[in-house]
Chains A and B, each alone.
Chain A
Amino acid sequence: MRIAIPKGRLQDKVLATFATAGYEVPDDADLHTRKLVFTRGGIEWIFVKDCDVPVYVEHGAADAGVAGLDQILEHECSAYQPVELPYGRCRMMVIGAPGAPRLANDARIATKYPRVSRQFLDSRGLRAEIIPLGGSVELAAVLNLTTHVIDLVETGETARVHKLEMQDFVAEITPRLIVSKNVYRTNNQQIRALIARIEEAKNAELQSIA
């Protein structure tokens, strides 16, 4: 079995969940090498950019992985999402430049999520222009490249510092365990065991928080 772990913000927490679930995961020393694939406890662990996890799982290059709902939606990934993980929760928001009016047809929106943004605008009947960016999207509003930004908000600190205004709620975002449909069909027992173990680890983590 091959499992895709998202590099960055969620990586340590996700590995901790798999460790709690009883999996032997790559340790820090491993991760400081330049290797891309680690075999531990009979499982191949791959570390990929968070936005690429849905791609690996959708095409079956990984049997399972952890991806944020933002990336799942943006890729229209069809993999199953059997477990929602209890951390990394954030909200996708419409954020206005200082003094910007509410979203309207003449708005310009910078975002890493052009597809989700388009669907949100369609649901509101708005034709606003979308400007896809690769990162630091708040800067677009700060520098008046755009009037608005659609992005994830965890604490809202970045927005406060730059006097940006939270205007509208797009979606609640959580990281999820995702499993490929084809693996679920053809290797059902193994994948069900994985789901059960992650579900259990999640509950254990929830209890330790409480």
Chain B
Amino acid sequence: MGKTRYPTGARPLLIEETARRRRIESRFVALLEGNGFAEVVLPIIDFAEPYAGVTGRESARQSYRFTDREGELVAIRSDFTPMVARALAPALPESELPLRVFYRGDVIRCDATRLGANREMFQIGAEIIGDASSEADIAMLRLAAAIASEFFENALVVYTDGGWQMADGKSADADSSPPSAVRHLPSLLENDARFVYHEQDEADPSSYYTGLRFWVYGDDRRKPIAQGGRYDSLYSRFGADAPAIGFTFTIDDLD
């Protein structure tokens, strides 16, 4: 075992990289706090059991799992979103909804494929809990675009159909909707070149997303720097009936 080796995907940040990381982080936090988001801190490990059936097999495969000293199966954090839901659900004061929270920290994903994507990632994410409106969708899409535009000249947000309600109450997807009808949400984003509507994407049955999905790209269009969407049934899995929408930026991808 070489003295300079680290487990796959893990590495320290030295002085300059750390300074850079912290600069990016503080800009993020300032933007989020400026938009009314309050921070929560989540543990680095958690029991695996509460997430069974919530995150799907793929995501379970991506996390480092082991038994703790009491013999219970625990996992290192690999996805913030379900952890935020589990932490907040038992203590959601209805009077304070909608709630705006953000979180930051490392996640570790051990991608088991041969494509080599194992790594530790520093992420910052935000979500609005308890607001099912398309105004919340737009607020989050715009915030994601605003953050990305802080770091890139040509930021792009690609979003899919969220099943938005038409002005007449019909689903935007319904075949009965007249072809001339303008979808509610896209029409609000139409004049902003940073937003691209993407008609189709495969539905991932194991994911917790329930409607709108989006991906944020910087100048490099090969890989998203952030992704997000709506997960209206996630909180109910942990005992609170609250819709939610959020996004997560992977900060290492902002280089």
Q: List residues of A whose CB falls within 8 A of some B CB.
A: 54-55, 58-61, 74-77, 115, 180-183, 185-188
Contacts and interface: CB of A to CB of B under 8 A. Distances in A.
Interface string B219-251: 001111000000000000000000000000000
A35 B215 CA distance: 35
Interface of B: 112-116, 156, 158, 196, 198, 201, 215, 217, 221-224
A183 to B, nearest CB: 7
B10 to A, nearest CB: 20
B84 to A, nearest CB: 25
B221 A187 contact: yes
A60 B115 contact: no
Contacts of B158: 185-186
A77 B215 contact: no
7 contacts: A61-B222, A77-B113, A182-B217, A182-B221, A182-B223, A183-B222, A186-B196
B209 to A, nearest CB: 15
A48 to B, nearest CB: 14
A11 B31 CA distance: 51
A60 B222 contact: yes
A180 B114 CA distance: 16
A54 B116 CA distance: 12
Nearest to B158: A185
Contact of A59 (B115, B217, B224): B115
A55 B198 CA distance: 24
Contact of B198 (A74, A115, A188): A188
Contacts of A185: 158, 196, 198, 201, 215
Given A185-B198, A186-B158, A188-B198, A180 B115 contact: no
A74 B156 contact: no
Contacts of B113: 75-77
Per DSSP, chain A at the interface is helix
Question: Which 3 residue pairs spanning A and B have beta carbons closest together?
Answer: A60-B222, A186-B221, A76-B113
A74 B224 contact: no
A180 to B, nearest CB: 7
A74 B156 CA distance: 32
B155 to A, nearest CB: 11
Contacts of A186: 156, 158, 196, 217, 221
Contacts of B198: 185, 188
Given A59-B115, A60-B223, 7 more contacts: A54-B115, A55-B116, A59-B222, A76-B115, A182-B223, A185-B201, A187-B221
A183 B221 contact: yes
B115 A75 contact: yes
Contact of A76 (B114, B201, B221, B222): B114
A180 B222 contact: yes
A100 to B, nearest CB: 28
Nearest to A74: B114
A74 B198 CA distance: 29
A133 B201 CA distance: 36
A115 B114 contact: yes
Contact of A75 (B114, B196, B215, B223): B114
A61 B116 CA distance: 14
A74 to B, nearest CB: 7
B195 to A, nearest CB: 12
B162 to A, nearest CB: 15
A185 B156 CA distance: 10
B25 to A, nearest CB: 25
Contacts of B222: 59-61, 180, 182-183
